[in-house]
């Protein structure tokens, strides 16, 4: 190693840079979503779960359509048939094809999950943004409303509403959305409270930008990471709640098919025909696990504190 005393100015050569290239940005400009996607692609488990979810969604959309058996068609001559080339997942107590019923049920469960997540996003983000940005007495009143809703167990509200209204997809979505948005609203409010006094928000106020435009163009884009991550955990939670309600008999009812209905039917004949429970249980487990792992991957990708 060269000693410090032996270092001379002749060893240093000044870099020659053109005047117009001094402030040039070499790295391409990336949005928060693009930067998050680049980091997400490095998480192999999350990407694998993303592909599994895409396959499940495609099967739930197209498998019942192209199947030669309808999910509601009965044939009492082939009741409780084991899995075979004609019926890949076997048949149930009414001779209905389990392959078609499982993917139709997955479609119903995914619709409920995505619809509940969309309502949580719309109501929660709007409520939390308005509460945080306006502040003062408005924020105090809005937060007291949230505290009242948090004090009532979510499952009790859902069960009571399901007992009052007729069972159906819309009823389940409404029941899940009544208090499901509360957690989203609190997260968005906390995030916006950190941002509302930042320079870019104050500059927008000075320029006369309305609160609506500040929320839409400045605050929500800077909270997209928190919103996406929470939404990814909302979907499996809604699917599980629907399956639980159908399993205990107050959700969707026969002849409708959801994963909860199919699991309930399979549980009743578990000892003699275990495949009726195993196949729908595997599908719902895959959905739940994949959404959870993908949610963790999105958290690592979008949360700056999780960067390595």
pTM of the predicted protein model: 0.78
Q: Which string of DSSP letters, residue by residue, matches 39-69?
A: HHHT-HHHHHHHHHHHHHHHHHHHHHHH-SS
pLDDT for position 161: 80
Band the pLDDT of 33: cuts 50, 70, 90: low
Interval 241-290: pLDDT, tens: 888 888 877 777 777 778 888 888 888 888 888 888 888 889 999 998 99
What percent of the chain has pLDDT above 70? 87
Average the pLDDT over 211-227 and give the result.
77
Q: How far is CA 135 from CA 132, 138, 142, 210, in A?
A: 5, 6, 10, 15
| Domain 108-303 fold | MetI-like fold (1.10.3720)
Average pLDDT, the chain: 80
| Structure-block tokens of residue 106 | 């997955």
Which pLDDT belongs to residue 217?
A: 76
Residue 235 has pLDDT above 60, yes or no: yes
Quote the distance between the C-alpha of residue 92 and its chain's center: 31
Q: Domain limits of the chain?
A: 108-303
């Amino acid at each position: 190693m060269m000693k410090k005393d032996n270092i001379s100015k002749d060893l240093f050569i000044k870099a020659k840079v053109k005047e117009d290239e001094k402030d040039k940005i070499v790295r391409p400009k990336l949005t928060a979503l693009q930067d998050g996607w680049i980091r997400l692609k490095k998480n192999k488990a999350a990407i694998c779960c993303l592909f599994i979810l895409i396959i499940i969604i495609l099967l739930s959309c197209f498998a019942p359509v192209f199947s030669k058996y309808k999910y509601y068609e009965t044939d009492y001559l082939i009741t409780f048939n084991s899995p075979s080339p004609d019926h890949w997942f076997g048949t149930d107590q009414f001779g209905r094809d389990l392959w078609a019923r499982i993917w139709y049920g997955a479609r119903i469960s995914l619709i409920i999950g995505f619809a509940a997540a969309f309502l949580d996003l719309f109501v929660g983000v709007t409520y939390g943004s308005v509460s945080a940005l306006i502040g003062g007495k408005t924020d105090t009143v809005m937060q007291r409303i949230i505290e009242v809703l948090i004090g009532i167990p979510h499952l009790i509200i859902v069960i009571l509403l399901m007992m009052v209204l007729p069972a159906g997809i819309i009823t389940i979505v409404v029941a899940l959305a009544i208090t499901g948005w509360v957690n989203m609203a609190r997260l968005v409010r906390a995030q916006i409270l950190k941002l509302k006094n930042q320079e870019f928000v104050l500059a927008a106020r000075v320029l006369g930008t309305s609160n609506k435009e500040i929320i839409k163009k400045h605050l929500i884009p800077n909270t997209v990471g928190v919103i996406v991550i929470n939404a990814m955990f909302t979907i499996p939670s809604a699917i599980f709640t629907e399956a639980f309600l159908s399993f205990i008999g107050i959700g969707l009812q026969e002849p409708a098919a959801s994963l909860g209905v199919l699991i309930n039917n399979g549980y009743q004949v578990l000892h003699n025909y275990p495949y009726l429970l195993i196949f729908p249980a595997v599908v719902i487990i895959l959905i739940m696990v994949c959404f959870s792992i993908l949610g963790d991957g999105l958290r690592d990708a979008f949360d700056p504190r999780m960067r390595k």
